[in-house]
Amino acid sequence: MNKQRIAILLSGRGSNMVALAHQARDGLLAERAEIVLVASNKPEAAGLSKARELGLATASIPSKGKRRAEFDAELLALLEPFAPDWIVLAGYMRILTPQVVRRYPGRIVNIHPADTREHQGLHGYDWAWESKLQSTRITVHLVDEGLDTGPILAQRAVDLHGCTSLEQVEQRGLAVEHGFYAEVLDTLFEGAAQAPGSA
Ligand code: GAR
């Protein structure tokens, strides 16, 4: 079976990218996916150096001071030679323009640290903490042209009982994110590999 080629986009720490890289190397995604590029809009993102340490191809395009369409045109040009089957967002803190979404229709996936029907945009764990939620839901969804409005692929609950700080909320959430993202991608890629016309 051909492996799905994935490009990961991130803007910061990169803990989800690291988790996916381990799964692709010798875990759940080992037969399923190959990370062909890790790219960032922040050249200084910690996630980029972590990707380099893991031996992955990396690239960055600074987004600062650029108009959205200009940046996304550069992003598309960067991605093209890597021929990714999927764009996997892992803490990528920018909204993609329609030009990117339409180039990879139904092929861009995001992980969001909340139920996208209840909270969109940044700071999903702050929201859960400030709202005193006893549980929150991590969402993996396809990206459309809106802000966290794309079709939900799967959700997983995070128990927040007994959390006494935002750091604890985030810690519990990330522990779930790291395993959950790979599981959802595994199912998604399995379906894509079996679809008519796929290799
Ligand atoms: C993760 O919690 C991810 O769900 C969230 O950013 C964090 C990135 O952490 N994404 C969003 O908020 C997207 N709206 P990481 O860089 O350590 O993977």
| Distance (Å, whole) CA 152 – CA 95 | 17
* CB of 150 sitting under 6 A from ligand 1: no
What pairing do the DSSP bridges indicate for beta strands 135-142 and 108-112? antiparallel
**pLDDT in the model for residue 71:** 95
**pLDDT in the model for residue 2:** 87
Express as a percent the part of the chain with pLDDT over 70.
98
Q: Is 94 within 8 Å of 14 (Cβ atoms)?
A: no
* CB of 27 sitting under 6 A from ligand 1: no
Question: Of all atoms in ligand 1, which is nearest to the CA of residue 11?
Answer: 16
Confidence of residue 153 (pLDDT cuts 50, 70, 90): very high
Distance 90 CA to ligand 1 centre (A): 6
Confidence of residue 197 (pLDDT cuts 50, 70, 90): low
Q: Is 61 within 8 Å of 78 (Cβ atoms)?
A: yes
| Distance (Å, whole) CA 180 – CA 185 | 9
DSSP helix/strand/coil, 58: strand
Q: What is the pTM of this model?
A: 0.97
| Distance (Å, whole) CA 40 – CA 63 | 9
* CB of 13 sitting under 6 A from ligand 1: yes
| Distance (Å, whole) CA 61 – CA 39 | 8
Confidence of residue 192 (pLDDT cuts 50, 70, 90): confident
| Distance (Å, whole) CA 172 – CA 183 | 17
Angle at which helix 15-26 crosses helix 166-194, to 10 degrees, equals 40
* CB of 10 sitting under 6 A from ligand 1: yes
Confidence of residue 159 (pLDDT cuts 50, 70, 90): very high
Confidence of residue 73 (pLDDT cuts 50, 70, 90): very high
Top CATH class, 4-112+139-155+177-194? alpha beta
Question: Of all atoms in ligand 1, which is nearest to the CA of residue 12?
Answer: 16
For 99, other C-beta atoms within 10 Å of its C-beta total: 14
Rounded mean pLDDT, 33-62: 97
Distance 31 CA to ligand 1 centre (A): 25
For 69, other C-beta atoms within 10 Å of its C-beta total: 12
**pLDDT in the model for residue 1:** 66
**pLDDT in the model for residue 194:** 82
Which residues are part of the catalytic machinery?
112
Task: Please report, for the chain, the start and end positions of each structural domain, with discontinuous segments joined by +.
Answer: 4-112+139-155+177-194
Distance 143 CA to ligand 1 centre (A): 15
Question: Of all atoms in ligand 1, which is nearest to the CA of residue 170?
Answer: 2
User: pLDDT (tens digit, 9 = 90+) per residue, 93-141?
Assistant: 999 999 999 999 999 999 999 999 999 999 999 999 999 999 999 999 9
- Pick the closest to residue 111 from 195, 49, 173 (CA basis): 173
- Long-range CB contacts (within 8 A, 24+) of 51-60: 51/8, 51/14, 51/17, 51/21, 54/18, 54/21, 54/25, 56/21, 57/82
Cα atoms in the Cβ-side hemisphere of radius 13 Å centred on 180: 22
